[in-house]
């Protein structure tokens, strides 16, 4: 999931915590299985399993958008203006998503390696496990489910 216009806003004012807390809620209340993740400054990668993927994406984006926009409005009012729609209201997440069905263990491991290496590729860290908001980092507060391999 990508922030509108790829704006760099998730790395400030505990916004990654909003994303993490939302995922924790879905794990507890909607039986979301989270197998891998990485939070970047303008997008989020998730490898999940749920009974209703479309519903999860819709509800997750709606909830996190509201919380993050409230945070932005309180902390950075000028930045909030970037998310205003012409007819009123706000848009935080891009409408498009890029979900891919994982049909093999090989494909699953390729995707996990890809998302874990995102912060390395961007030059934020030297090793994937050094990026806090990643399932590659065992110290991260967000817990993952065992892989179904």
For 10-64, write each residue's pLDDT tens digit. Answer: 999 999 999 999 999 999 999 999 999 999 999 999 999 999 999 999 999 999 9
Pair of tokens at residue 123: 């030059």
For 54-93, write each residue's pLDDT tens digit. Answer: 999 999 999 999 999 999 999 999 999 999 999 989 999 9
Q: Distance from first CA to last CA of the chain, Å, rounded?
A: 25
Domain boundaries, the chain: 4-130
Q: Measured between alpha carbons, how far is residue 84 from residues 2, 18, 97 in Å?
A: 16, 20, 20
């Amino acid at each position: 999931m990508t922030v509108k216009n790829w704006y760099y806003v998730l790395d400030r004012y505990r916004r990654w915590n909003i994303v993490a807390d939302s995922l924790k809620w879905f794990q507890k209340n909607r039986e979301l299985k989270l197998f891998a993740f990485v939070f970047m400054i303008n997008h989020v990668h998730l490898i999940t399993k749920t009974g209703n993927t479309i519903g999860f994406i819709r509800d997750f984006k709606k909830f996190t958008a509201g919380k993050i926009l409230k945070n932005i409005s309180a902390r950075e009012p000028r930045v909030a203006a970037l998310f205003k729609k012409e007819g009123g209201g706000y848009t935080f997440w891009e409408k498009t998503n890029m979900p891919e069905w994982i049909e093999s263990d090989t494909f699953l491991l390729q995707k996990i390696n890809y998302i874990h290496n995102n912060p390395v590729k961007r030059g934020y860290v030297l090793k994937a496990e050094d990026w806090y908001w990643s399932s590659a980092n065992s110290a991260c507060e967000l817990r993952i489910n065992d892989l179904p391999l």
